[in-house]
A and B are shown apart, each in its own frame.
Chain A
């Protein structure tokens, strides 16, 4: 700071800052420690890793994990296919539609998943009639659920490049719209697309509401089910989920770094 404040005051702020960090840090770390402790309990006050090795020896759980991973990938791909061409096109040719698309994409924020699933139940009777009752059909709902997250990431990406000039330059050199999309738009907003995909993956891996009420066995549904008979195993998987999502988002903070506006403080 340019002007030095009275030293006592600054120290007061620093102390308060550390008190807040330590107290809330403790509040949030305690459950993680508790999960670690609980999931390594053995018989008669011993320590054991049975809960953790149990993750891989429970066939239902392994199936559910694979299902969820497949869903995460499929939903991310479907989301990108739906959003990227539409959003780029709207910026280039149909700016009037921008508000409508934004409204539709953010709509899932106003409609709780538990409400959406009430309307999904009859719709899924049809989906399962035509496509079979594979849990992978959840892709259709999940692509909708990730819309707000993905929309904001991709929108910020598109706003940060001069799309119109780039597209016109490519067009004047004879590129088709497909080429513009695939070789101009996609590479230029690569980081935004990675960001949108990571968020979608994290959301799908953590989704419970819709899967459980449409009776599909995904990761979170299994975790909840197992919890009724083997708390240690469920807690181990839960801890693994939280840590995995944390790693994804932590990586994401580096992915987006290039475009972050640096705030110069001092």
Chain B
């Protein structure tokens, strides 16, 4: 899952090391200095860069290893294109829902005591759901609104409402949208809380002493300041939902409505002859979409950190 980590340390990373040339010696010891970094680079090269290149390069290869664009042109049609659109739709809707409700929750938490229990509980719970939810979230969802779920039974027995009157919607896009909000809203809290903490109480006081109302404050001070962080968070949430796999995989065992599940199909052997590298092309497509969203997010972050 894509997730930025805000560990407890406040803005400590901001004033990262400014390189000073104090202890820098040159000559053979520089070469030795580089050797220390080699194990890390070799490791990351083997277990991160190499497999990534394998996927990206494989997207342009046919089954014999020759160069081809046919994998990519196949992406542009039929079920694969549909899966991409569905993935984008799911990610966009849950990003917006998550951003709006997550921002509200962050605000409700940020106005309380920064060392208080409420904040600790919300932040810890948000961390769990946003970053480590995965399969348990799917089962939480089934226990709640599955065929035998708690809410399903309650509605059926007490109010005579059948949740599944229309269809088995929980195993399709509507269900995925609902269950995705369970990690999107918490992720928004983690991302957006630091931005809200950056609002100084003095600004509020200044607005009020000049006769401004709460509306004036949010319209002319708080709103504009939070706009970039909010937009950035929406992009991050989008990327997060787009790359999420575990929850959807545990929930949807048949059919592949979204791209990550399409890729599962290729890995578990539902492959037509001559299409072995189509899975890699799907991977390339995902990296491009996530890369664009994260790239814009990084640009926005840079703008924000400039004056905060």
A interface residue numbers (CB < 8 A to B)? 1-3, 5, 9, 12-13, 17-18, 20-21, 24, 28, 30-35, 37-39, 82-83, 85-86, 89-98, 101, 104-105, 107-123, 140-141, 143-144, 147-149, 152-153, 155-160, 163-164, 167-168, 192, 195-196, 199, 202-203, 205-209, 212-213, 220, 223-224, 227-228, 231, 234-235, 237-239, 241-242, 245-246, 249-250, 252-253, 255-257, 259-263, 265-266
CA distance A157 to B246 in the complex (A): 31
A-B contact pairs, 12 of them (CB 8 A): A24-B101, A24-B105, A34-B151, A101-B40, A117-B267, A152-B7, A153-B7, A159-B12, A159-B17, A192-B7, A242-B128, A253-B120
A96, B36: Cβ atoms under 8 Å? no
Question: With A31-B141, A202-B131 in contact, is A93–B267 under 8 Å at CB?
Answer: no
Residue of A nearest to B102 (CB): A24
Binds A, one of B61-69, B201-209, B227-235: B201-209
Binds A, one of B76-84, B169-177, B280-288: B280-288
B interface residue numbers (CB < 8 A to A)? 1-13, 15-17, 19-20, 22-24, 33-34, 36-37, 39-41, 43-44, 46-55, 58, 101, 104-105, 107-108, 111, 114-115, 118, 120-121, 123-125, 127-129, 131-144, 146, 148-151, 182, 185, 197, 201, 204-205, 208-209, 213-214, 239, 242-243, 245-246, 249-250, 253, 260, 263-264, 266-268, 279-280, 283, 286-287, 290-291, 294
Residue of A nearest to B208 (CB): A3
Q: Which of A104, A123, A238 contacts B135 (CB 8 A)?
A: A238
Q: Smallest distance from the beta carbon of A178 to chain B beta carbons, Å? A: 11
Known A203-B131, A245-B127; 18 more pairs at CB < 8 Å: A24-B101, A24-B104, A89-B33, A96-B19, A113-B245, A115-B283, A118-B267, A118-B279, A123-B51, A164-B20, A164-B22, A168-B22, A224-B135, A231-B139, A231-B143, A249-B124, A253-B123, A265-B114
Interface centre among B2, B39, B53, B268 (most CB of A within 10 A): B2
